[in-house]
Amino acid sequence: MSDAKLFTPAQAGAIELKNRVVMAPLTRNRARPEDDVPVELNVEYYEQRATAGLIITEASQISPQGKGYAWTPGIYSDAQVEGWKNVTDAIHAKGGKVVIQLWHVGRISHPVLQPGAADPVAPSAIAAASKTFDGEQFIDTPMPRALERNEIPGIVEDYRKAAENAKKAGFDGVEVHAANGYLIDQFLRDGSNTRQDEYGGPIENRARFLKEVMDAVVGVWGGDRVGIRLSPFSNANDIADSDPQATFSHAIKLLNGYGLAYLHLVEGQTGGARDIPEGGDLAALYALFDGTTMGNNGYSRESAIEAVESGAVDLVAFGRPFIANPDLVERLKRNAPLNEPDRDTFYGGGAKGYTDYPTLEQASAAAE
């Protein structure tokens, strides 16, 4: 099945992909601790994986306030832009394509990670029963502060500036992170958004922040170089909604107005079961979108080939397999065995469990 459609070229808006295997965004907590700048080790890691049809970088905070975990990279300072430019240059030199995932965590943070030890912000003052990483251990996320109406345009402007910085850093486009219980997702869902102003209440209002962010980002890039990630049925980071099918149907219809490069859906629970709750219909959500679709969550070689062949999705994003297999595309083509990822090295650390996984070629040379 090396001639399967999964391994053929595709188009995601204006971005030409050499195959339909996407490297999913993966938080690895290896930016420079003092200023969240990507370093040479990050360059090597991404360069090793440039055979993917598209790389989506790890989520990168759009501002110091948007940070929720220690050692995650940013895209708001000149030094960060320079660090990311080294990454994009290396990927492009290997013939790869890469977009950066723009991130504001909202309430999934902690004062120890915030400028001036401030409280994290959210649509409403509702705490998430979740945890974050402070550089030493996983700690509970506290009660956030509800954003004032007049603060919201500033955050939208942070997204716009981050999109501008991504362009300066040489990316092929950007992905807006609107999934997994982070700030945009918090606005969209009625379990985390109980505002009484024009950003709360009916879904038309709860989707207003999403619309303003998309207006800003698409204003920089054009829709055909902007993707978006949603997780309609995931409860990651204690997120909940009374009617996710209706909420995300509305969101996707709204997104159609932008001519986006792609729609990236987490299918089921983030990094967990693929089950869809009663009343949920993934196929119906995909069908609403006028453009390239990307499926994500626990795909195997067989299920990815089948999903693309059947037309269920156009692209498949792989996460953990890309951690341990820099040459994942080649391994999938050949139906070769996969390296097992070392979970102890997922978050933080150095080269071990990051850039030292062997390719098929290296493993074969070592065995001779």
The mean pLDDT values, 10 residues at a time, for the chain of 368 residues are 90 98 98 98 98 98 98 98 98 98 98 98 98 94 98 98 98 98 98 98 98 98 98 97 98 98 95 88 98 97 98 98 98 96 95 96 79
Four-CA torsion 100, 101, 105, 108, nearest 10 degrees: -110
pLDDT score at 125: 98
Active site residues per annotation = 182
In degrees rounded to 5, what are phi and psi of residue 257? -70, -5
How much is the pTM? 0.97
CA 211, 245, 267, 353 torsion: positive or negative?
A: positive
As given in the structure block, the two tokens for residue 364 are: 């074969």
Cβ burial, residue 350 (10 Å; 0-12/13-18/19+) = exposed
All structural domains of the chain: 5-319 (3.20.20.70)
